Structure 1
Amino acid sequence: MEIAFICVNYNNSKITLEYILNVIRIKQNHRVKIIVVDNASDIKDVNQLETDIENLKTNAVLLLKSEHNLGYFKGLNLGIKCALENGYNQFQVIGNNDLEFYNDFLDVLERIEIKDYELILAPDVITIEGIHENPHVINKMSFLRKLKSEIYFSNYYLAKLITRFYSSERKPKSFDSERKHIYMGIGALYVLTPNFFLNFDKLWDDVFLYGEEAILAGQICSVAGKIVYEPMLKCNHNESATTSKMETKYKYKIIQSSYKIYKKYL
């Protein structure tokens, strides 16, 4: 089976190297290409990453260096385009660089039966706190949830007030063993199936960062396709390696700006 793994690096060369080494360990007899898109990292970080990749002495890894920070999905699209140009139009595993795939990930993927309208697989993504991030959103948002989002994103200080009275601590939830169609998968990881490439050659990338899950859901729905939660595909997630470094207000402003674009898909 031919498969591309695509991730984005931004000033996290050490984490990206761990991602690369993990994929190399699990690839076994599969034809795998690892494409890392560097989103204009500091020169020291990208030089370190380039050196680390050269030291691996393998042609399985390709580093693409963008002159500008493209954001998440635009960065992934650069990798997707490269993968397609190199003939990787079967499965593409796209997402964060802070992931650790289970040893049987590719063997399980090879055995999965996919219907024509199933364009994306959403694996079981497990955080270091034991939270299973998928299935993320099974159905479209209710009116009340949309109203809550409107209020939250109307003003930074109002959002802080709401947060103060609402515990943001996420409690571990039990593993869902049922394979099912869902509206949104968590944005950290998707598997694009061959059916995706019969309809699209890229992700809709209307936002710089945040809200990608909703926009992708809208993209898949536009061709009557489905996203499938696949519990047999598993990986660990050391979440938010990049975004956790952002100042709170700056992060809020980015999400607020993205919300104005993606809210129509909720």
Structure 2
Amino acid sequence: MIGFVILHYMAYEETIACVESILRNVKGEKKLVVVDNASPNDSYRILVERFKDDNDVDVVSSGGNVGFARGNNYGYAYINNHYHPDFVVVMNNDMDIQQCDFIDEIYNSFAMYKYFVCGPDIYASKKKYHQNPQTRKVLSKEDYKKQYRKLWIKDKLSFLFPLKYAFKSIFCKETYHSADYSKIPYIDSVVENKMLHGSCYIFSPLYIRKYPEECFYNKTFMYLEAEILHYLTQKRREKTIYYPFLKVNHHEDASTDATYKKQYKKSIFSVKCLLQSSKAFIELMNCV
């Protein structure tokens, strides 16, 4: 049996679409756990009511807005303790799965590669490119220290963000350049031990047996989960793979967009979260 953990915050229409795509398209034995991360709107009640008669879906509450890593850890521990799945798919709520043999391919991938963590082919529907495996540089501890110092300054100057965005809206025409993303190639073969995109992971029996309570490092609120997971798996010599025969679609940032209608508020929030996560990652690298 395969477990799916879907972290929800406010954007219930996206969460419903995600859950229903799995129920409708993915063949095989499965259990879905939707974790509401203390949404301040009425979406938790809406989701409970929507799926109350579906035995394959549990809607649970984290009890507070504990962030991305700990919210997913809550669902990951819940599904392992209650249902004991062979694999756990941890995915964003702004995704869908159209692949009917998704579960069969999970078992096939593990039979061949015996990995700890697998990343599927993730297609970004807005920017029209494939997000796995990650092509960006893996940063060092010194790089993160430099990033932390820059973020600290940005955070102190965040009161200027409204002026910045007001100026841009008046004097600058924002253009969207898809060419940057079109240069990122689609990889059609298995790749081992490269950084994987943080929106969807498949955790194998090897990972679940070793870490039944947590899939992510629990000291971040949001951001750098992928970087930290890659760092830890490589340090522990745990194989990760990109497997292009598993496919998901990613529509991106539904929860954050639902929370912050104004771009400058989203930017302030992002800087604060990146600052905190960078500090947590540096402290981790000092120990591991």
TM-score category, normalised to shorter length? 0.7 to 0.9
Matched, 1:66 2:77: no
The residue that corresponds to 1:109 in the other structure is 106
User: Which residue is equivalent to 1:126?
Assistant: 123
Between the aligned partners of 1:45 and 1:147, the Cα distance in structure 2 is 38
| Partners of 1:143 and 1:213 in 2: CA distance | 15
Which whole-Å deviations, capped at 9, do the CAs of 1:193-235 have from their partners, x for residues lacking one? 1111232111221101111112212332343102111111111
Match of 1:259 among 275, 278, 282: 278
- Number of aligned positions between the proteins: 257
Bigger Rg, which one: 2
| Alignment-derived partner of residue 172 in structure 2 | none
Deviation, structure 1 residue 149: 3.2
Q: Which residue of 2 aligns with 1:242?
A: 255
Q: Counterpart of 1:262 in 2: which secondary structure? A: helix
Query: Which residue is equivalent to 1:171?
Result: 181
CA offset digits 1:151-179 (Å, max 9, x no partner):
64242159x89xx9xx9954232211121
Q: In the superposition, relative to structure 1, how do residues 144 and 223 fare at CA in structure 2: closer, same or farther (>3 Å)?
A: closer
One of 83, 87, 91 as aligned partner of 1:95: 91
More helix by share: 2
TM-score (structure 1 length as normaliser)? 0.86
Give the equivalent residue in structure 1 for 2:202: 191
Please report the RMSD computed on the Cα atoms of aligned residues, expressed in angstroms.
2.8
Q: List gaps (5 residues or longer) in structure 1.
A: none
Distance 1:168 1:208, change over 3 A: farther
What TM-score do the two structures reach when normalised by structure 2? Answer: 0.80
Give 1:1-266 correspondences, 5 Å limit: 2-28=1-27, 30-54=28-52, 57-103=53-99, 104-112=101-109, 113-116=111-114, 118-128=115-125, 129-137=127-135, 140-141=138-139, 149-150=147-148, 152-156=150-154, 170-172=180-182, 173-201=184-212, 202-203=214-215, 204-244=217-257, 245-246=259-260, 247=265, 248-263=267-282
Q: Aligned to 1:52, what secondary structure does the other structure show?
A: helix
CA contact (8 A) 2:26 2:98 kept: no
Helix, strand or coil: the match of 1:254?
helix
Letter in 1 for 2:195: M
Mapped to 1, the partners of 2:235 and 2:112 lie a distance apart of 19
SS at match of 1:86: helix
Point out 4+ residue stretches in structure 1 off by more than 4 angstroms: 142-148, 167-170
- Unmatched 5+ stretches in structure 2: 169-174
Q: CA deviation at 1:145?
A: 5.8
Helix, strand or coil: the match of 2:54?
coil
Letter in 1 for 2:253: S
